[in-house]
Structure 1
Amino acid sequence: MSKAPDERREGSAAAARGRAGARGAEGGARPARGGAREPRDGAKSPLSPELLKQLRRIEIRTQRLANEQLSGSYSSVFKGQGLSFREVRAYQPGDDVRWIDWNVSARMSEPFVKVFVEEREMTVMLVVDASQSEQFGTRRASKARVAAEIAALCSFSAIKNNDRVGLVLATEAIEKLVPPKRGDKHVMRVIREILGHEPRYTGTNLKLALETLVKVAKRRSVAFVISDFFAAGFERALSLASAKHDVIPVMLVDPRDEELPDVGLAAFEDLETGEEVVVDTGDRAVRDHYRASMRKLRSDRDKLFKKLALDAVVVKTGESFVTPLRDLFARRARRIRR
């Protein structure tokens, strides 16, 4: 059996990050798993009745949000490919002389100008982290569930403006690639893939996901990269992707990502590597070190996004994801008006 691609992790803090550990505080520590972790067979499986209900709830909720709360904001801040040529017509007073078609004017012995229209059509690409750490979250919502809702909201906003939507679903490998298309049915397929796909691998390779985005999206697109950004080694790929596309990092954060609970001795399993470590969570120094490591990781990510001039969005599980997106649109609208 082939081995999984090499996993890119964030140094020593990753092994004891405690994404599974906070779960252990609620329901007991996960037992260690023997042997190497292999890719899962059968990446595609039919949706359970519960997942179908979730899919329907997400559809209803995000369509309403797209219509009521983000209506108009999306189209005003995301532009298409620019201007496209429509026709040549006789010059009229007030026309911009820069658009005079001199060849046609010479043939017709009078001035003619080129007429352009705004090419509104745009492609929205969703780059979604489907690694095992995305299954972690509060009792109310896992990161995967929040990612699906954010993707749905962005997708429904896009198709309302006749834009196309595509998907790159990634773990250590590219799990699913959905070419950009329009229409409600296509959006439902995208959401279904995010919500119901059974990943073959458990780790994260954002570098590969971003490189795939650059390869498959030939024209400049708006790319929402939805992840907790726990992976490492993707910085150059993000820089290259942002040079070609309008990249918007959407960082998913769970409150328990940054706080190690005091539950005494506890076995923590890294949800992506399967590695287990026993930690004395009662030791304040351990908890302080963990908190400092996680805050440094967040700070490093913030600095990276700022360096690349990216409009990053932070979404916390258990809280509204609409407000951060609405704030994003407002920031962009203010810049356009300047």
Structure 2
Amino acid sequence: METSELLKKVRKIEIKTRGLSRNIFAGEYHSAFKGRGMAFSEVREYQFGDDIRNIDWNVTARYNHPYVKIFEEERELTVMLLIDVSGSREFGTFEKMKKNVITEISAILSFSAIQNNDKIGVLFFSDTIEKFIPPKKGKSHILRIIRELIDFQPKNTGTDITGAVRYLTNAIKKRSTAFIISDFMDENPDLEMALSIANNKHDVVALKVYDEREKELPPIGMVKLKDAETGKYIWVDSSSRKIRKIYSDFWNKHISRLDTMFKKCGVDYVSIDTKEDYVKSLMTLFKKRAVKQ
């Protein structure tokens, strides 16, 4: 993509998503993703009812009077975006492809993070780790992320979410909030274990982006379908009720498997349809998390 065209797209995404994150998500993001650590703040004289485990014995000995340590929540977070750049993200039958929705959601989360003084990093993955951008702060860093979201060209087309989750666990030492943004069309049985391990170390959130035509096949006769990840084509008779039922049954089993897996792993999860308003879905997720805090 030419530089001038890319800059126009970056600016368009920036204007839209920065406004959303500032005007809509600011409070919800802060409430939903609080810092989980506790940092030492100051000492004060012991008061009746204080936890004796917080007594600062050095200060107590110096003043010959009990003092306790005061802790406050560490507000700063490290946010990681694990972004699926496999071939299936190019699918879309309405106004937007999955890729476009993933880009906008990622940009919103990036601006929300920076407005809360959080660091943010990105991991692009297909069936390999395509690119890792270490967590940093600053507007220039966010704009670099948006440029990559728009213009990044992956080497591979397959999907390996398990490998990306394991990379997160090993590469990010400090506890982070990690958003996995994918269509989750990966049936690897090892994903559940990888998610459980990652969610014990980090706070993992799953955002599934899908297109309505992945749920059900319309009766429009013979259709040539392409697997975006393998490049293989297949002809399907969509006028057949049996074929359409097989198609929808596969989707229902896929969603049921994901629901079960995320619940077992303790991972918060939301599905986002490309033709629907993703703002509503994200707000629902954020408010649900805020209640749980």
- The normalised TM-score by structure 1 is 0.81
Checking the alignment, whether the CA contact within 8 Å between 1:130 and 1:194 is kept in structure 2 is no
* Deviation per residue, 1:69-103 (Å, 9 max, x gap): 112111122121422123445x1656835322123
1:242 maps to 199
1:335 maps to 292
Letter in 2 for 1:190: I
Question: C-alpha distance in 2, partners of 1:198/1:334?
Answer: 39
Question: C-alpha distance in 2, partners of 1:281/1:97?
Answer: 68
Match of 1:182 among 119, 137, 140: 137
Match of 2:282 among 325, 328, 334: 325
Letter in 1 for 2:37: G
Checking the alignment, whether the CA contact within 8 Å between 1:164 and 1:182 is kept in structure 2 is yes
Checking the alignment, whether the CA contact within 8 Å between 2:37 and 2:73 is kept in structure 1 is yes
Question: C-alpha distance in 2, partners of 1:66/1:325?
Answer: 11
2:60 maps to 105
Letter in 2 for 1:198: Q
Structure with bigger RCO (C-alpha 8 Å, 6+ apart): 1
Residue 212 of structure 1 deviates from its aligned partner by: 0.8
1:116 maps to 71
Question: C-alpha distance in 2, partners of 1:273/1:48?
Answer: 31
* Deviation per residue, 1:94-133 (Å, 9 max, x gap): 6835322123312332233323332111111000100110
Secondary structure, counterpart of 2:93 in structure 1: coil
Match of 2:219 among 257, 262, 270: 262
Residue 206 of structure 1 deviates from its aligned partner by: 0.5
Q: Is it true that 1:308 corresponds to 2:265 in the alignment?
A: yes
* Deviation per residue, 1:284-309 (Å, 9 max, x gap): 21111111111211111112112222
Secondary structure, counterpart of 2:258 in structure 1: helix
Fraction of identical pairs, as percent: 44
* Deviation per residue, 1:227-269 (Å, 9 max, x gap): 0000121222112111211111001111111122333333322
Residue 225 of structure 1 deviates from its aligned partner by: 0.5
Residue 52 of structure 1 deviates from its aligned partner by: 3.4
Deviation larger for 324-333 or 170-179: 324-333
Checking the alignment, whether the CA contact within 8 Å between 1:81 and 1:121 is kept in structure 2 is no
Question: C-alpha distance in 2, partners of 1:164/1:188?
Answer: 14
Question: C-alpha distance in 2, partners of 1:263/1:80?
Answer: 51
Secondary structure, counterpart of 1:229 in structure 2: coil
Structure 1 residues 94 and 156: CA distance shift in structure 2, 3 A: farther
Match of 1:150 among 105, 109, 131: 105
Question: C-alpha distance in 1, partners of 2:140/2:200?
Answer: 31
Question: C-alpha distance in 2, partners of 1:124/1:96?
Answer: 34
Question: C-alpha distance in 1, partners of 2:5/2:173?
Answer: 37
Deviation larger for 160-169 or 116-125: 116-125
Structure 1 residues 267 and 120: CA distance shift in structure 2, 3 A: same
Residue 330 of structure 1 deviates from its aligned partner by: 1.1
Question: C-alpha distance in 1, partners of 2:65/2:192?
Answer: 56
* Deviation per residue, 1:188-227 (Å, 9 max, x gap): 1112212210110011010111011111211111111000
Checking the alignment, whether the CA contact within 8 Å between 2:199 and 2:266 is kept in structure 1 is no
Deviation larger for 194-203 or 108-117: 108-117
Residue 276 of structure 1 deviates from its aligned partner by: 1.7
2:170 maps to 215
Match of 1:64 among 14, 19, 29: 19
Residue 47 of structure 1 deviates from its aligned partner by: 4.9
2:50 maps to 96
Letter in 2 for 1:103: N
Q: What does residue range 35-50 of structure 1 map to in structure 2 within 5 Å?
A: 46-47=1-2, 49-50=4-5
Secondary structure, counterpart of 2:35 in structure 1: coil
- The normalised TM-score by structure 2 is 0.93
Q: Is it true that 1:54 corresponds to 2:9 in the alignment?
A: yes
Question: C-alpha distance in 1, partners of 2:8/2:241?
Answer: 43
